[in-house]
Amino acid sequence: MKPLLPLLYLDVDGPLNPYAAQLFDQPLDGFTVVEVPHEPEPWRVRLDPRHGAGLSALDYELWWATTWMAGANEWIAPVVGLPELPYVDFTEVLFQERPDGVHWKTQTLIDHAAGRPFAWVDDELGPEDEAFVAAHHPGPALLHYVSPLKGLREEDFAALTAFAESLTGPATPLPQGPGGH
């Protein structure tokens, strides 16, 4: 039986939609602007179509961990080149502030992971989340901050790859048969 892959929880705003770049008029090469219907006016979301291939190539089971929830499959996945992904349902805890400074997503993600190794990419992670996960999650976890000014970059993919490899070891090429096939 094939072992379970670690989970990768993906936030949208910050890692995939570097919203802060728009605030500072930072150009983002290769990004596409999508207007998402919203009242009173549409949201302008910047997305990089190359992100999907990079994320799909990682040795993880991908999940949305975003306030977009199911909407991420409608508005985000097609633009970045991801298939429809399952999402963590945050309806019960959406934006509920905690007195201990732990992010409102953290406990739900620990519960969802149920002891499995996971990585979480988000632009709202802090030391309180790191300490809380270390104290309450029995498996390995990587909480990886991504700048909302830049979004996911090559170094972020490298960190995610290194974490996955720390769990299973690097992928080794299959031996080649006669003739180098």
- Mean per-residue pLDDT, 122-132: 97
Most distant CA atoms of the chain, gap in Å: 65
Tens of pLDDT, residue by residue over 48-90, are 999 999 999 999 999 999 999 999 999 999 999 999 999 999 9
Using an 8 Å Cβ cutoff, are 77 and 34 in contact? no
Residue ranges of domains in the chain:
7-168
| Unique residue bearing structure tokens 């994320």 | 55
The interaxial angle of helices 127-136 and 106-113, nearest 10 deg, is 30
Using an 8 Å Cβ cutoff, are 66 and 146 in contact? no
Tens of pLDDT, residue by residue over 142-171, are 999 999 999 999 999 999 999 999 998 655
CA distance to 67, 71, 104, 121, 141, per residue, from 93 (Å): 10, 17, 6, 19, 21
Torsion angle, alpha carbons of 165, 130, 153, 104, to 10: 120
Tens of pLDDT, residue by residue over 79-111, are 999 999 999 999 988 777 888 989 999 999 999
CATH number of the domain located at residue range(s) 7-168 in this protein? 3.40.50
Q: What is the pTM of this model?
A: 0.88
Using an 8 Å Cβ cutoff, are 13 and 19 in contact? yes
Residue 74 CA to residue 84 CA, distance in Å, equals 8
DSSP state of 11: -
Q: How many residues does the chain have?
A: 181
At residue 172, does pLDDT exceed 60?
no
3-state secondary structure 48-68: CCCHHHHHHCCCCEEEECCCC
